[in-house]
């Protein structure tokens, strides 16, 4: 009975993971949320499945996470998949650049950066380290961090994406942490992998945006389309999670995935019917979209198809475009709701 723990499972991408994974009655699916009672009521009303368990936990509360581990140990002696989906996106810093934010409120910028790092980086590091003993008892051993294309340094630099800086910085740091975990635990057969969900449209929250903010989003989406001309627009949470699940199922520690950060050019390609079997994130996507040359000299990461033999570790390719909304956040940005 494969087991999954999903953080931020009360709504958004997290709840969609809960819904899709629990559709298979042989899966044991555990959601980690801040409000256990409300999520249990939602699950009972909307899903009505007996292979779902809900535990309480808060990324920014170390003792809360320790208690969550104890609760999960009472449910299962080992954990096959840890999906670190929960995050925080600040609405305050979502639509201005660092210079503008610093000029407007330097103390506010400091607080915003610390809040983003505390949840998206430190909280997830604590989550992973506390659940590692359960992961190590598994035969599958997969730790997946849901990250963002907004942490793609090449995309930021080449297309002048200034907005969402604290969130982007915290997720770039999380990507580095995933690579560091992989460097430490790959020898134990544990897969650590960062995945971007793509630009996900959940529709809510757009009425809260100012006209200036809406114009900024439209400009960034246009830049995204320039980067990947075959892109057909945002995908739904259902599509995004379905694509992510496919990658999670195929990914293996000895096939080039270890410590990788796979960007949302994969969901874009899948959304346009590119054959998902060859996981070659540079050649396949270039064939489909002919993206602009890299602005800076980062090495590409070509991942082998699932039936290819293992290869030596390669340099990582940064992720591509994205939006603060597609993040599995614990808070709402002005354009999209996020998971708890």
Q: How far is CA 111 from the centre of its chain?
A: 23
Establish whether 74 is a catalytic residue: no
Is 92 exposed, middle or buried (CB count within 10 Å of its CB: 0-12, 13-18, 19+)?
A: middle
How far is Cα 18 from Cα 21, in angstroms, rounded to an integer?
6
How far is Cα 213 from Cα 98, in angstroms, rounded to an integer?
16
How far is Cα 297 from Cα 308, in angstroms, rounded to an integer?
27
Pairing of strands 191-195, 261-262: parallel
Q: How many CA atoms lie within 13 A of 327 on its CB side?
A: 32
Considering 4, 159, 167, 281, which one is annotated as catalytic? 167
Identify the bridge partners of residue 84 per DSSP, sorted by sequence position.
Answer: 145
E strands, the chain, where? 3-7, 28-33, 52-56, 81-84, 142-146, 191-195, 261-262
CB 159 within 8 A of CB 130: no
The two most distant CA atoms of the chain are separated, in Å, by 54
Write down the residue that tokens 């380290």 correspond to: 129
Q: Quick one: residue 203, left, alpha or beta (phi over 0 = left, psi -120 to 50 = alpha)?
A: left
Considering 4, 141, 171, 185, which one is annotated as catalytic? 171
Establish whether 171 is a catalytic residue: yes
Buried b (16+ CB within 10 A) or exposed e, 158-177: bbebbbbbbbbbbbbbbbbb
User: Nearest 5 degrees, angle CA 39-CA 68-CA 236?
Assistant: 45
How far is Cα 45 from Cα 106, in angstroms, rounded to an integer?
45
Give me the active site residues, please. 167, 171
């Amino acid at each position: 009975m494969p087991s999954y723990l999903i953080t931020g499972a009360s709504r958004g991408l997290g709840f969609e993971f809960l819904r899709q994974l629990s559709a298979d009655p042989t899966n044991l699916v555990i959601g980690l949320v801040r409000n256990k009672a409300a999520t249990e009521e939602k699950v009972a009303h909307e899903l009505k499945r007996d292979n779902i368990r809900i535990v309480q936990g808060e990324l920014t509360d170390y003792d809360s996470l320790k208690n969550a581990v104890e609760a999960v140990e009472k449910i299962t002696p080992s954990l096959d998949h840890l999906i670190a989906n929960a995050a925080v996106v600040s609405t305050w810093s979502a639509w201005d650049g660092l210079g503008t934010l610093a000029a407007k409120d330097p103390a506010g910028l400091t607080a915003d950066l610390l809040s983003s790092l505390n949840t998206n980086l430190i909280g997830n590091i604590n989550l992973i380290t506390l659940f590692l003993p359960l992961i190590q008892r598994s035969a599958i051993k997969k730790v997946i961090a849901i990250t963002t294309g907004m942490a793609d340094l090449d995309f930021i630099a080449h297309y002048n994406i200034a907005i969402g800086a604290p969130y982007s910085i915290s997720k770039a740091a999380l990507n580095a942490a995933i690579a560091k975990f992989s460097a430490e635990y790959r020898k134990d057969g544990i897969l650590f992998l960062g995945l971007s969900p793509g630009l996900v449209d959940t529709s809510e929250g757009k009425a809260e945006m100012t006209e200036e903010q809406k114009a900024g989003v439209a400009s960034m989406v246009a830049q995204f389309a320039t980067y990947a001309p075959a892109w057909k627009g945002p995908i739904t949470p259902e599509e995004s999670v379905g694509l992510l699940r496919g990658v999670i199922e195929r990914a293996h520690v000895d096939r080039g995935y270890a410590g990788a950060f796979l960007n949302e050019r994969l969901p874009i390609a899948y959304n346009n019917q590119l054959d998902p079997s060859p996981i070659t994130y540079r050649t396949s996507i270039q064939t489909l979209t002919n993206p602009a040359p890299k602005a800076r000299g980062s090495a590409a990461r070509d991942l082998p198809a699932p039936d290819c033999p293992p290869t030596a570790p390669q340099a990582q390719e940064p992720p591509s475009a994205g939006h603060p909304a597609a993040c599995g956040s614990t808070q709402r940005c002005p354009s999209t709701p996020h998971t708890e």
